[in-house]
Amino acid sequence: MADKLLEVRNLKIEATAYPPGEKPRDITIVDDVSFQLEKGKVLGLIGESGAGKSTIGLSAMCYGRGGVRITGGEIVLNGRDIRQLKPGALRRVRGGEVTYVAQSAAAAFNPAKKLMDQVIETTLQRGEMSKSEAEQRAVMLFGKLGLPNPETFGRRFPHQVSGGQLQRAMTAMALCPKPDLVIFDEPTTALDVTTQIDVLAAIKEAIADTGVAALYITHDLAVVAQVSDDIMVLRGGKTVEYGDVRQIIEAPREEYTRALVSVREIEHEEKKPAAEPVLRVDNVTARYRGTNFDVLKNISVDLSPGQTLAVVGESGSGKSTLARVITGLLPPKEGTITFAGRELSPDMASRKRDDLRELQMIYQMADVAMNPRHTVGTIIGRPLEFYFGLKGEAKRKRIQELLDEIEMGQGFIDRYPAELSGGQKQRVCIARALAAKPKMIICDEVTSALDPLVADGILKLLLNLQKIEHVAYLFITHDLATVRAIADSIAVMYQGKVVRYGSKSEVLSPPFDDYTDLLLSSVPEMKLGWLEEVIEHRRMESAGN
Amino acid sequence: MTRLPIAAIIGFVITGAYFLAAILAPWIAPYGMAEVVGDSWAAPSAAHWLGTDSIGRDLLSRMIWGGRTTIFIATAATILSFGLGASLGMTAATIGGWVDQVLSRFVDLIMSIPTLIFALVVLSVVPVNLWVLILVMGLLDATRPYRVSRSVASDIVVMDFVEAAQLRGEGRTWVIFREVLPNALSPLVAEMGLRFIFQVLLLSTLSFLGLGVQPPMADWGGIVKENKEGLVYGIAAALYPAIAIASLAISVNLVADWILNRTTSLKGGRGG
Amino acid sequence: MNTLLKLVVQRVALGILLLFAASILIFVGTNILPGDVAQAVLGQSATPQALANLRAELGLDQPAYIRYFEWLAGVLHGDLGKSLTNGQDIAAAIGQRLSNTLFLAAVSAIIAVPLAITLGLIAVRYRDRWPDKVISAVTLASVSVPEFLLGYILMYFLAVQFHIAPSVSTIYPGMSFWAKLHAITLPVIVLVLVVQGQMMRMTRAAVLNLMQSAYIETAELKGLRPFLIIARHAFPNAISPVINVVMINLAYLVVGIVVTEVVFVYPGMGQYLVDHVSKRDVPVVQACGLIFAAVYIGLNMLADVISILANPRLRHPK
């Protein structure tokens, strides 16, 4: 029996909600959660937004964020309940026995101080090492985490290094005082997928080398499967399932866990390209006003009617700019856009109303894509009135038909967006686009802001609607799993260029170009040992060269 | 609709009472505006609830008539400054480009001189009357509603729902009145309340300095000027306008606060 | 270092440009508007001949832009022109008054700034509890009463009823420093109260904003003592916003001082300006207006320069 480090029993966490115009009331965020962690082991906490996973993670430091209170249960760390500790003793636990790595290291570092001073701050505070010893340890950790020039890295200020590097620096900061337990709170979520894999590998190696235990919090089951020994699945502040990683991934017991494991496994048969495309982007080059840098360079892609072209790339690849050029929000410097057989005017303002109607758009953040002062009825009804002159009862009937089509049914027509869930909001945006009877819809990261299961529902709806309405999608995303699920053809973008383009089967089969290979191999897969395989594979390849 | 908080009710009642008194002044003021009815600085009595002023006019009547002048000029100046400033600010935010640049730099320039100083400079050459006061106060203060409405509107203009409306092919009128304005209304109305208070304070200050409302017309700042000598003899007549101005300002503030809070709670509807 | 210097130079250049533009605005304000200075000085009953003579004497028969450049050239050489009403040299008349005004402003600022920052920090420390609420209530009250009324209220109670301070702030050259201080007790209290509200509220907002940032949470999770969190992590980042708040409010003090001087018959710039506005003495008004505008523009510029200098992103470029 290994040494027990942390045991949490019957944890209950509450907060006070302040609903407008009503009396404040207490709400339970975490209810009756228990788990334990042995020395040197990693426990993954997984769940969707609002599952209480960060709150539980921070409870291991007996810390409540923003008025959150731990109201029940025991948190036994190294043999004593830290809830009973006095403030001074608790401060020695924080930053000493237990340390924390935040999701956004960019915000978590003090902008006015050098990285080294921040990394060794707690170590010096505790008086266990001299300044030079602490700095040596920090440099050693920088090196272990794969940071460039570990000797001089610490002399920089936070804004002088990249996001991926900051995330590693924060890991070094957490490991520096030799803690027993590190809490990783979504440490790779804000990173691009090709950066994520490196940081993930670095974290995993650092955990193994230092023998520290960890709580690893994330919403991505494929990620947590790579680093954890045990996994706890949470939903609405309650435990759904708790077991070792193999059991959870390979033989989940609960329905909800099964859904999480099988997420993004949508079957979609690839369609053959048609003779006449609905959209042809021909040799488009574009730049933003006042800059002297082309964000898009000689882009040419086609989209067949009733099919889906997925445009894949990481942040800064120019994929969203392509959408702006097609919609006419950003007139291109060179090149033409042909839509439904006619060449579109480069500037939106001089396009014909039918061109505007047949080319619709759905946004990433449904929250800000709908006017919060309009009802669902007004939002969906406006295109009906604007393009088809529908009024009164006829309009209301059509709105209801559209609501049925997006599987929302009765009772939503007079509600405001603020009263809908995230998935429902995105569905209303889809209905608004459909109301215009478009030939094509541009979907800009429409599932990125949603929890995996909700995103799955939206993708299935979109595929279904494509069959019924025969509408084409230009689907912009950074997520390759989404691409696999819905694309007929794929364009991979990198630094403003299309580096690979063709049917889905062509693009996703070897031989690959370097970037596509990197991109494809970086997407976490829902299987144990995937991370090691990729790292090993890359090591062999670079040795081979 | 949620229930009105106590503070907002108090604000509405007091503000309403002042405006009502201003409108009904000819009927509710016991004496005429410039009517001399007694000794100078007579103590409060049944006939003169607040006593009389430096030359024997009924102070209560002066306060009511003065309130009428003050509130009328401040309201007119607010309407002018707000109408001009807010419409230019919204236009600048929605059109952008050089229109925005020119307007914004010009506003920066006007704001580089404190409003009171600028007003004094201008009032040193123009004849002072009611309409000049409204014009000068309204024009000089249009800079603040301009900035507020521009910044509120430019926050809204970049939202995806406005882009969606533009992509739909909606005209500028629809975008401004149906998409932007409903979302900007509450902060703008609250700002209007604050501008009104500022105008009341500015007018009182100008009148006190002898450059605002001219005698024998009454206004709150003028009443202080006329009766300030009395203070040395322990006569508090000059302080009544303080109570009037402060209570009006505070109650308008309470209403503005309520309007602002109402917006934020609507926006955060589902509350994280 | 280069970008930093460039930004500072740009901001200073903008300040100078603004000052020039403001001088044009002041000049235009007093010249192009429908009023006629000569008419205003001599009154409605003046003979045409007298008007013509005065216009010639004032140079009003020349085009406006020439008069502007002559005025500007004079100002740049320290010649502010002569007063219309008594023919006095304006620069000489302003000298003593300006130093009186700066004395009053300095004493008020020395009291108001530390007080406002302390009260702002107390409001943050006891956020949403009674000290915070009392402070916001006082703030609301103080911005709801105009300066001159605040002055008379204090005069009525402190000077007339309780004889704590003199009701009129007479000072003259040769007075001892302490006598001067005693004389300006009431105007200082008024000015401190007037800028207090805003400065406190803005300090509170700036510090609250800072305390909610993620790096303060990081410091808490590092187990640092509250004192260290404030000293090492909050303070270095708070300097810039707080100094900004202070500068903006000192600029605001410029306005308050004009009225306060009139209330307490204090021989400073503000009283000089107001006196000559009612006498329609345009050269004096122009000169005083320009000086007030220069101080205001200068303080705002200083606030911006300090926040540029305090920004670590600009101090340590990539």
Three-state secondary structure string covering C19-42 = HHHHHHHHHHHHHCCCCCHHHHHH
Task: Give the residue, B41 or C104, on which the prediction is more confident.
Answer: C104
What would the two tokens of residue A54 be? 């960060």
Domains of chain A plus CATH, in order, are: 4-261 (3.40.50.300), 279-509 (3.40.50.300)
* Dist. CA B222–CA B224, nearest whole Å: 5
Contacts of C140 in chain B (CB under 8 A): 250, 253
Residues C42 and C50 sit within 8 Å (Cβ to Cβ): yes
Residue contact B121–C296, C-beta within 8 A: no
- Neighbouring C-beta atoms of residue B83, cutoff 10 Å: 13
**pLDDT tens-digit series, residues B75-95:** 999 999 999 998 899 888 888
**pLDDT tens-digit series, residues A469-507:** 999 999 999 888 888 888 999 999 998 999 999 999 889
Distance from CA of A418 to the nearest CA of C (A): 26
**pLDDT tens-digit series, residues A56-79:** 999 999 998 877 889 989 999 998
B237-B239-B240 Cα angle (round to 5) = 75
What would the two tokens of residue B213 be? 């409302």
Residue B265 is predicted with a pLDDT of 45
Residue contact A94–C217, C-beta within 8 A: no
For domain C91-280, the CATH class is mainly alpha
- Neighbouring C-beta atoms of residue C168, cutoff 10 Å: 13
Determine if residue A335 is left, alpha or beta; phi over 0 gives left, psi from -120 to 50 gives alpha, anything else beta: left
Spatial CA neighbour of B132 closest among C30, C34, C283: C34
Q: Is C261 on the interface with B (CB under 8 A)?
A: no
Average pLDDT, stretch B208-225?
A: 85
Average pLDDT, stretch B54-74?
A: 87
Would you call the peptide bond into B216 cis, given omega within 30 degrees of 0 as the criterion?
yes
- Which pLDDT band holds residue A421 (cuts at 50, 70, 90)? confident
Q: Is C227 on the interface with A (CB under 8 A)?
A: no
Spatial CA neighbour of B209 closest among B80, B119, B142: B119
Q: Which residue of chain B comes nearest to A422, CA vs CA?
A: B270
Residue contact C273–B120, C-beta within 8 A: yes
Contacts of B159 in chain A (CB under 8 A): 368
Contacts of C4 in chain A (CB under 8 A): none
Distance from CA of B34 to the nearest CA of C (A): 23
Chain A, residues 40-99, CB within 8 A of chain C, namely 58, 61, 63, 65, 90-96, 99
* Dist. CA C16–CA C13, nearest whole Å: 5
Residue A21 is predicted with a pLDDT of 57
Contacts of A63 in chain C (CB under 8 A): 220-221
Q: Is C232 on the interface with A (CB under 8 A)?
A: yes
* Dist. CA A508–CA A523, nearest whole Å: 13
Residue contact B231–C293, C-beta within 8 A: no
Residue B1 is predicted with a pLDDT of 45
Q: Is A386 on the interface with C (CB under 8 A)?
A: no
Q: Is A125 on the interface with C (CB under 8 A)?
A: yes
pLDDT value at B57 more than 50? yes
* Averaged pLDDT score across all residues of chain B: 84
- In sequence order, the β-bridge partners of residue A490 are A310, A502
Q: Is B43 on the interface with C (CB under 8 A)?
A: no
Name, in order, each residue with C-beta under 8 angstroms of B197's C-beta and a sequence gap of 6 or more: B248, B249, B252, B253, C144
Residue contact A21–B169, C-beta within 8 A: no
In the block, residue with structure tokens 């403001």? C22
Spatial CA neighbour of A538 closest among A524, A521, A523: A521
Taking the CA atoms of residue A371, residue A372, residue A375 and residue A379 in that order, the dihedral angle to the nearest 10 degrees is 20
- Neighbouring C-beta atoms of residue A255, cutoff 10 Å: 10
Residue contact B250–C144, C-beta within 8 A: yes
Inter-axis angle of helices B97-111 and B143-157, nearest 10: 150
Residue contact B249–C145, C-beta within 8 A: yes
**pLDDT tens-digit series, residues A525-539:** 888 888 888 888 888
Q: Which chains touch B (3 or more CB pairs under 8 A)?
A: A, C
* Dist. CA B113–CA C197, nearest whole Å: 22
Residue contact C316–A160, C-beta within 8 A: yes
- Which pLDDT band holds residue A15 (cuts at 50, 70, 90)? confident
Residue A545 is predicted with a pLDDT of 59
Q: Which helix (H) or strand (E) is A261 found in, with range?
A: helix A255-261
Distance from CA of B115 to the nearest CA of C (A): 8
Contacts of A18 in chain B (CB under 8 A): 271
Residue contact C219–A110, C-beta within 8 A: yes
If DSSP codes are grouped into helix, strand and coil, which group holds residue C68? helix
pLDDT value at A378 more than 50? yes
If DSSP codes are grouped into helix, strand and coil, which group holds residue A97? coil
- Which pLDDT band holds residue B268 (cuts at 50, 70, 90)? very low
Q: Is C214 on the interface with A (CB under 8 A)?
A: yes
* Averaged pLDDT score across all residues of chain A: 89
pTM for this prediction: 0.81
Distance from CA of B162 to the nearest CA of A (A): 8
Task: Give the residue, A381 or C173, on which the prediction is more confident.
Answer: A381
Q: Which residue of chain B comes nearest to C280, CA vs CA?
A: B124
Distance from CA of C209 to the nearest CA of A (A): 13
Name, in order, each residue with C-beta under 8 angstroms of A543's C-beta and a sequence gap of 6 or more: none
Task: Give the residue, B72 or C28, on which the prediction is more confident.
Answer: B72
Q: Is A155 on the interface with C (CB under 8 A)?
A: no
Residues A219 and A451 sit within 8 Å (Cβ to Cβ): yes
Least confident of A24-28, A73-77, B177-181, B220-224: A24-28
Inter-axis angle of helices B115-123 and B130-141, nearest 10: 150
* Dist. CA B249–CA B242, nearest whole Å: 10
Most confident residue range from A424-433, B26-35, B214-223, C55-64: A424-433
**pLDDT tens-digit series, residues A301-318:** 999 999 999 999 888 888
Spatial CA neighbour of B53 closest among B71, B73, B69, B35: B35
* Dist. CA A215–CA B110, nearest whole Å: 58
* Dist. CA C30–CA A193, nearest whole Å: 65
Residue contact A353–B169, C-beta within 8 A: yes
What would the two tokens of residue C2 be? 């280069």
The letter for the amino acid at C25 is: L
Q: Is C221 on the interface with A (CB under 8 A)?
A: yes
Would you call the peptide bond into A524 cis, given omega within 30 degrees of 0 as the criterion?
no
| Chunked mean pLDDT (size 10), chain C, 318 residues | 80 90 86 63 72 72 78 81 79 86 91 89 81 81 81 84 78 80 88 85 84 88 86 84 83 84 88 86 86 87 84 75
Domain ranges of chain C: 91-280
* Dist. CA B200–CA B208, nearest whole Å: 12
Distance from CA of B6 to the nearest CA of C (A): 15
Domains of chain B plus CATH, in order, are: 9-267 (1.10.3720.10)
Q: Is C222 on the interface with A (CB under 8 A)?
A: yes
* Dist. CA B153–CA C55, nearest whole Å: 49
Half-sphere exposure at residue A120, Cβ-oriented, CA atoms within 13 angstroms? 22
Contacts of A100 in chain C (CB under 8 A): 218, 221
As a residue count, chain C comes to 318
* Dist. CA C32–CA C25, nearest whole Å: 10
Residue contact B234–C161, C-beta within 8 A: yes
Least confident of A413-417, B96-100, C81-85: C81-85
* Dist. CA A475–CA A482, nearest whole Å: 9
Residue A160 is predicted with a pLDDT of 87
* Dist. CA C26–CA C33, nearest whole Å: 11
Q: Is B173 on the interface with A (CB under 8 A)?
A: no
Q: Is A351 on the interface with B (CB under 8 A)?
A: yes
Residue contact C217–A112, C-beta within 8 A: no
Spatial CA neighbour of A42 closest among A57, A54, A32: A57
Residue contact B239–C149, C-beta within 8 A: yes
**pLDDT tens-digit series, residues A93-135:** 998 899 999 988 888 999 888 999 999 999 988 888 899 999 9
* Dist. CA B78–CA B34, nearest whole Å: 27
pLDDT value at A398 more than 60? yes
